[in-house]
Amino acid sequence: PYIVALYMLFNRYRQRYGGYLVHLGLVMLVLGVIGSHYFQQQRDAVLKPGQEATIAGYRLTYLGNIDTREPDKETITAQLQIWSNGQLQTYIYPGRITYHNYGDQPASLIPINTFGLTDLYVVLTDWTGAAQATIRVFVNPLVSLVWYGGVLMLLGGIVCWWPEHRRSLAVAGGATKKNVEAEKPAGVVNGGVVV
Rounded mean pLDDT for each run of 10 residues along the chain, 195 residues in total: 80 84 96 93 96 96 93 93 95 94 88 94 90 95 94 92 64 55 55 52
Q: Are residues 122 and 135 in the same domain?
A: yes
Q: Looking at the domain assignment, is residue 29 inside a domain?
A: yes
Q: Looking at the domain assignment, is residue 118 inside a domain?
A: yes
Residue in 118, 99, 119, 120 with CA at minimum distance from that of residue 108: 99
Per-residue confidence (pLDDT) for residue 123, from 0 to 100: 96
Q: Are residues 2 and 73 in the same domain?
A: no
Residue in 120, 121, 122, 68 with CA at minimum distance from that of residue 97: 68
Domain of 1 in residue numbering reads as 1-39+142-166
Q: Are residues 16 and 69 in the same domain?
A: no
Residue in 92, 93, 139 with CA at minimum distance from that of residue 119: 139
Per-residue confidence (pLDDT) for residue 172, from 0 to 100: 56
> Dihedral angle at the C-alpha atoms of 158, 160, 164, 170, nearest 10 degrees?
-170
Is the entire prediction scored with pTM above 0.85? no
Per-residue confidence (pLDDT) for residue 142, from 0 to 100: 94
Per-residue confidence (pLDDT) for residue 24, from 0 to 100: 96
Q: Are residues 72 and 113 in the same domain?
A: yes
Per-residue confidence (pLDDT) for residue 174, from 0 to 100: 56
Helix (H, G, I), strand (E, B) or coil at 145: helix
The CATH number for 56's domain is 2.60.98
Q: Are residues 62 and 112 in the same domain?
A: yes
Alpha carbon distances (Å) from 74 to 36, 86, 95, 110, 167: 33, 35, 10, 16, 64
